[in-house]
Amino acid sequence: MLLALFVAAAVLVRLASVLVSARHERALRADGAVEVGAGVTRTMAAAHGAFMIAGALEAYVRQTSADALSAAGLVLYLFGIAMLVVVMRLLGRFWTVKVMIARDHRLVTHPLFRAVRHPNYFLNILPELVGYGLVLHAFWTLAIGLPLYLVVMVARIRQEEAAMRGRFADYAA
């Protein structure tokens, strides 16, 4: 029962972030923003959803119950979600699940972005997924799903890097 509530809460958190993203995207597009890498974005969204479904199914099949590993996974998951909130606040209206480049886009130089090149991926998404998998004891999902997700994430980071270098002369690779 606890794990089912966790899965439902995780889905709601992701849906809430997608709603914020959609609101920001509409405003950015109205101001002339351009999306970069739509195909990779769709693949990444599908991979995220598949990871969550696979983890939930694996927990169901295993009949997983909450234990110390689940608690450790929950701490890691909550750290990832906290970092999502931090990144969303730092990027403000420029935060979306898509790579959007606005006409008035500004480079965020907050110390977090200087310390960690892509905090949304490395401090939010990876801890979120690993924590989710650990809470559910979804070891197969972690072993298979995480490397597949990383392939898509690397492609996304490369697209984002290219877009940022094209927009900002002072964006160092």
Q: What is the pLDDT of residue 111?
A: 95
Q: How many CA atoms lie within 13 A of 171 on its CB side?
A: 17
Q: What is the distance between the alpha carbons of residues 145 and 67, in angstroms, rounded to a whole number?
A: 22
Q: What is the pLDDT of residue 123?
A: 97
Give residue for tokens 């739509």: 38
Q: What is the pLDDT of residue 167?
A: 85
Q: What is the pLDDT of residue 166?
A: 86
Q: What is the pLDDT of residue 173?
A: 56
Please say whether the beta carbons of 104 and 32 come within 8 A. no
Q: Please, what are the domains in the chain?
A: 2-167 (1.20.120.1630)
Per-residue pLDDT of the chain (173 residues; tens, 9 = 90+): 899 999 999 999 999 999 999 999 999 999 999 999 999 999 999 999 999 999 999 999 999 999 999 999 999 999 999 999 999 999 999 999 999 999 888 888 899 998 998 999 999 999 999 999 999 999 999 999 999 999 999 999 999 999 988 888 877 75
Backbone angles phi, psi at 101, to 5 degrees: -115, 115
Q: What is the pLDDT of residue 119?
A: 95
pTM: 0.93
36: enclosing H helix or E strand: strand 34-36
Q: What is the pLDDT of residue 168?
A: 84
